[in-house]
Structure 1
Amino acid sequence: MTTVTIIVPAHNEERGLPATLESLLRQTAPAEEIIVVDDGSSDRTGEVARSYGVTVLRPEHNLGSKARAQNHALPHCQTDLVVAVDADTVLAPDYVERLKPAFDDPDVVIAAGNVQTRFTRTIWERGRSIEYLFGFHFHRPIQAGAASPMVCSGCCSAFRRETLVAFGGFPERTIVEDMDVTWSWQIGGRKAVYVSDAVAWAADPETLTYLRKQVWRWMAGFFQNVRLHLRPMARRKPMLALWVVLAVLEILLAPLWWTTPLVLTLVWQLPAAETLAWWLGAELLLFIPTLVYAAHRRRLSVLRVLANIPFAYPTRAVNTYYAWKGLLVELILVPLGLAKTLTVYEKGRAT
């Protein structure tokens, strides 16, 4: 029988932690142990965790990143698998049960499921919901079909413990440990798996302030990993390298996409309304079928999903800005010694 330990790193998470722990305790394949790392919290995080009867570890001081908090708990894990779950993420009751079979293949060392947005209250949450529905029902299945997923989401990934320990634990050299370990192990010839029927719901940034912090961390971390891994990836895992290169090209071309209506109107003298209609229509032809399919798979209201499409554009504008910033800082300025790589882990959500 495959045994499981769940690690929940938590810093000032007294509000979000109860829903997370309740979802972990309801798993149809119960974990042998749940460990909450109370990472220097100044609120009641530790007290809340203990009230659920789970193991609580508190380092002597705040460790400063999710990977370090997870590594603090790793020596206490003795099971076959380690599942890392963010303190604001809720797992479906059968999440762990659905991930376990992936590890019947001895070459599989990491697996994760389908992540969706827990709340759709604000502009930013509604925009992110569209990103997740599209990404996890279009990009991720294609990548999985080619046996080269871009990332196993850090909010809900399962790891083969022996491999993780031999690797030195959760990597701390970049600001996004999930992408680092997913790429490293695939380059090394091991397998990462996407399990589409295992569903988790993450609490995403509800304000622009926190969205900016999260997206900056993600984009800086993406280019830190590009700098670190792309060359060996091109040699040893070319299909994964293809997805990465396509992602970089999409970032490079994003300003052209944003300015297309303006260029066609001002330079080619095309009617503004007609230009905007063609610009939006072409994209919606790709978006809408996938979103309708995703809504049916997730048992969501199709009309509510489609009504959230306009909110994806402000979110994408933020993504474009920080993607370009990440590219310039991490791929150009850092190698030239003109900037420092991002090392400060800032939460992407209000506590």
Structure 2
Amino acid sequence: MKTLTVIVPAHNEEHGLPATLRSIAAQTVPPERVIVVDDGSTDATGEVAAAYGATVLRPPRNLGSKARAQNFALPHCDTDLVLAVDADTVLAPDYVERIKPAFDDPDVGVAAGNVQTRFARTPWERGRSTEYLFGFHWHRPIQQLANSPMVCSGCCSVFRRTTLTAFGGFPERTIVEDMDFTWSQQLDGRKAVYVAAAMAWAADPETLVYLRKQVWRWMAGFMQNVRLHLPRLLTRKPLLATWILVALLEILLAPLWWATPVILACTAHEPVARTMGWWAGSELLLTVPTLLYAARRRRLPVRQVLFNLPFVYLNKAVNLYYAWKAMVVELIMVPLRLSSGLLIYEKGR
């Protein structure tokens, strides 16, 4: 049986950390060691971690990113596998048990499970819950069947330690280390795996302020990885490159799709109400069947899932704005040396 160490990077996480550590302690297949990196916290993060029996590491100063904090802990890991868990993420009791068998295949370098939202209290959390339900029950299974996942979620990814250390640790060259490593592994001929049965719940931004920070980091990181990896992916991993190109095309065409009711009303001389009805019907046809399937799989109340659906359009508007901003900054301004891109890691909650 492969051994496993858990790394939890934490900066001012005294309130969220207990639930994370309790979920790790409750694993049906417990880890050999839990390391919490108290990365320059000004609260009681380190004391909380020690109270739950974790090994606490304190860098001499705040390292400034999750990847750097994880790399600070990596030399202290000597197990076969390393599980990186965000300090506000809760794992299902059988998460480790479910995900370990993926590494029976020696070609697997990284694996992650199904991530859903822990809370659905604010409009932004409700919108994110819809995004996750759809994405992890539509996009991820298709990508896994094609052996080309877009990303192994950084809040709960498991890494083969020897592969991770040979790579140089968690990548720090982009602002999103999880996507960078996922694409790099596939470029190197290894596998990234999505394990649908391994469940985790992440705490997502509850306010627009934090949502904007998180989405800007995600979108900028995506474009950084496009700039870094896409040329090689086109020849060495064409199916993964296809998902990326489809995502870019969706970003480019999204404003046109959102404006379609008005365009049709103006060009076809149809009432706006009718064109809006056609547009809304198309949206529902594309999303509701997957959400109903996801609700059944997750044993969620269908009424609640459908109630949360309208809120996803608030999140989509934020996503689109920062996707376009990231595309301009990272794919145009950075190559032209008009910008250095996003370099500062800001927490999303």
TM range (shorter): over 0.9
Q: Which residue of 1 aligns with 2:99?
A: 99
Matches within 5 A, 1:13-52: 13-52=13-52
**1:199 maps onto 2:199 in alignment:** yes
Q: Which position in structure 2 is the counterpart of 1:312?
A: 312
Task: After superposing the two structures, state which structure 1 stretch, 124-133 or 262-271, moved more.
Answer: 262-271
Match of 1:64? 64
Q: Which residue of 2 aligns with 1:108?
A: 108
Q: For 2:250 and 2:61, how far apart are their aligned partners in 1?
A: 40
Which consecutive residues of structure 2, in runs of 5 or more, have no partner in the other structure? none
> Any idea what SS the aligned residue of 2:185 has?
helix
Residue 235 of structure 1 is matched in structure 2 by 235
Counterparts of 1:267 and 1:309, CA distance in 2: 30
Choose 259-268 or 221-230, whichever is displaced more: 259-268
TM (norm. structure 1) is 0.99
Residue 90 of structure 1 aligns to a residue whose secondary structure is strand
1:85 aligned partner: 85
- Equivalent-residue separation in structure 1 for 2:44 and 2:265 (angstroms): 56
Taking every aligned residue pair, what percent have the same amino acid on both sides? 73
| Residue 158 (structure 2) aligns with | 158
Letter in 1 for 2:28: T
- Deviation digits for residues 308-331 of structure 1, max 9, x if unmatched? 110000100000000000000000
Residues 74-119 of structure 1 show CA distances to partners (whole Å, capped at 9, x for unaligned) of 0000000000000000000000110000000000010000000000
- SS at 1:308 equivalent: helix
- 1:1-351 equivalent positions in 2, closer than 5 A: 1-349=1-349
Q: Distance in 1 between matches of 2:17 and 2:286?
A: 37
4+ runs of 1 displaced by more than 6 Å? none
Q: Distance in 2 between matches of 1:105 and 1:315?
A: 37
How many residues matched? 349
The 2-side partners of 1:267 and 1:211 are apart by 36
CA distance in structure 2 between the aligned counterparts of 1:307 and 1:265, rounded to whole angstroms: 29
| Deviation, structure 1 residue 283 | 1.3
* 2:285 partner letter: L
Q: Normalising to structure 2: TM-score of the pair?
A: 0.99
- Report the Cα distance in structure 2 between the residues aligned to 1:269 and 1:330, rounded to whole angstroms: 40
Alignment RMSD, CA only? Answer: 0.6
Q: Which SS does the other structure have where 1:60 is aligned?
A: coil
Residue type matched to 1:55 in 2? T
Shift, 1:266, TM fit: 2.7
Q: CA deviation at 1:286?
A: 1.5
One-letter amino acid of the counterpart of residue 150, structure 1: M
